[in-house]
Amino acid sequence: MLGWIAQGKTDAETGMVLGISPRTVAKHLEHIFDKLGVETRTAAVVRAVETARSDGHSHSASASSARAVAAVPESMPSLR
């Protein structure tokens, strides 16, 4: 899910791609934010990328999220 968020997708767009409602996307993001200890979409993506770089072999929730966004799009060079 963070991979889509990293690409700038809205909850509605992410929901369409995943076949779930925008509200379900928002609820999943709330849980991801809690697990990563962040409050915004941008902070979640940054934290996940940082985690992927520093601890790519962990099986924690944050590492799982990090793997989802390990390939940050070229259009977002500030996150690389």
**Identity of the residue numbered 3:** G
Q: Per-residue pLDDT for 10 more than 50?
A: yes
d(CA 8, CA 13): 9
Q: Which whole-number Å values give the CA distances from 16 to 21, 28, 37, 80, in the listed order? A: 7, 15, 27, 27
Instruction: Render pLDDT for 12-22 as a digit per residue (tens, 0 to 9).
Output: 999 999 999 99
d(CA 60, CA 38): 16
Instruction: Render pLDDT for 21-78 as a digit per residue (tens, 0 to 9).
Output: 999 999 999 999 999 999 999 999 999 899 888 876 454 555 555 555 554 455 544 4
